[in-house]
């Protein structure tokens, strides 16, 4: 068994006691995903909500299309966030969405909300909205021209 010095043990204990916080630089936070991913942010009253389940099913049907369009889903319900390292109440405050409300937001790589819906978004609507985005059109143009994706 490895032993740590008292100082190292203290540092390890302190690090373990500090909760992880999502920042704009954290690619696993909704804000940090900007320029890398499009986000389908879904708020629901519960993880078992029928509308949330319908949204999951639509994303399952759209899996290949979502992957090709850099689309990820983030689910927020019951004080939990699945798909990002954000905190429920901070996302709800940022997007002004009270806890019992269902809301689906499609957020582009530019950070703008492209769709704000009180109902689940089907795969056809997601595809059409994403494909109409200027950044997506540029991605398609680059792919056709055989250019790589520009990474800043």
Q: Kindly list the structural domains of the chain, giving each domain's residue range(s) and its CATH number in brackets, ordered by start.
A: 22-144 (3.40.30.10)
Tally of CB atoms within 10 A around 38: 23
pTM: 0.79
CA–CA separation, 71 and 133 (whole Å): 13
**Hey, is 107 helix, strand or coil?**
strand
How would you write the pLDDT of the chain (152 residues) with one tens digit per residue? 555 455 444 344 434 333 444 444 557 899 999 889 999 999 999 999 999 999 999 999 999 999 999 999 999 999 999 999 999 999 999 999 998 999 999 999 999 999 999 999 999 999 999 999 999 999 999 999 987 655 54
What is the SS3 assignment for 129?
A: helix
Q: Using the 8-state DSSP alphabet, how is residue 75 labeled?
A: E
DSSP string computed for 25-68: T-TTSTTTTTTT-EEEEEE-SSTT-HHHHHHHHHHHHTHHHHHH
Find the distance separating the first CA and the last CA of the chain, reported in whole Å: 45
């Amino acid at each position: 068994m490895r032993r740590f010095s008292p100082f190292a043990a203290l540092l390890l204990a302190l690090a373990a006691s500090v909760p992880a916080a999502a920042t704009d630089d954290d690619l696993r936070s909704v804000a940090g995903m900007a320029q890398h991913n499009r986000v389908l942010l879904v708020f629901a009253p519960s993880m078992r909500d029928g509308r949330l389940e319908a949204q999951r099913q639509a994303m399952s049907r759209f899996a290949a299309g979502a992957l090709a369009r850099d689309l990820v889903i983030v689910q927020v319900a019951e004080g939990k966030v699945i798909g990002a390292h954000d905190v429920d109440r901070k996302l709800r405050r940022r997007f002004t969405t009270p806890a019992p409300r269902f809301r689906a937001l499609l957020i582009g790589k530019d950070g703008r909300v492209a769709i704000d819906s009180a109902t689940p978004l089907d795969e056809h609507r997601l595809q059409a909205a994403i494909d109409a985005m200027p950044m997506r059109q540029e991605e398609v143009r680059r792919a056709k021209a055989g250019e790589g994706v520009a990474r800043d």
